[in-house]
Structure 1
Amino acid sequence: MCHSISTLFYDLGASPAVYELDQEARGREMEWALQQLGCSPTVPAVFIGGKFVGSAKDVLGAHLNGSLRDMLIEANAIWF
Structure 2
Amino acid sequence: MDSVMSLVGENPAVIFSKSSCCMCHTIVQLIRGFGANLTVYELDQLPKGKQIERELLALGRNPSVPAVFVGQKLIGGANEVMALHVQNELGPMLIKAGAIFFWKRE
Specify the TM-score bucket, using the shorter chain as the normaliser: over 0.9
Q: Which residue of 2 aligns with 1:21?
A: 43
Equivalent AA in structure 1 for residue 71 of structure 2: G
Tell me how far apart the structure 2 counterparts of residues 28 and 10 of structure 1 sit (CA, whole Å): 25
Matched, 1:60 2:76: no
Q: Hey, what does 2:73 align to over in structure 1?
A: 51
Question: Could you say what secondary structure the match of 2:84 adopts?
Answer: helix
Distance 2:37 2:24 in 1: 14
SS in 2 for 1:40: coil
Q: Choose the corresponding residue for 2:61, options 9, 23, 39.
A: 39
Question: SS of the residue aligned with 2:50?
Answer: helix
Q: Which runs of 4+ in 1 moved over 2 A?
A: none
Q: Distance in 2 between matches of 1:16 and 1:79?
A: 13
Structure 1: 5+ residue runs without aligned partners?
none
How far does residue 15 in structure 1 lie from its aligned partner after superposition? 2.9
Structure number with higher strand proportion = 2
Q: TM-score, normalised by structure 1?
A: 0.96
In 1, distance between residues paired with 2:26 and 2:38?
Answer: 12
Query: Distance in 1 between the 2:100 and 2:43 partners?
Result: 26
Greater helix share, structure number: 1
* RMSD, matched Cα: 0.7
- Aligned-residue sequence identity (percent) comes to 47
What residue is the counterpart of 2:96 in the other structure?
Answer: 74
Distance in 2 between the 1:60 and 1:16 partners? 17
Q: Which residue type is aligned with residue 8 of structure 1? A: L
Report how many residues are paired: 80
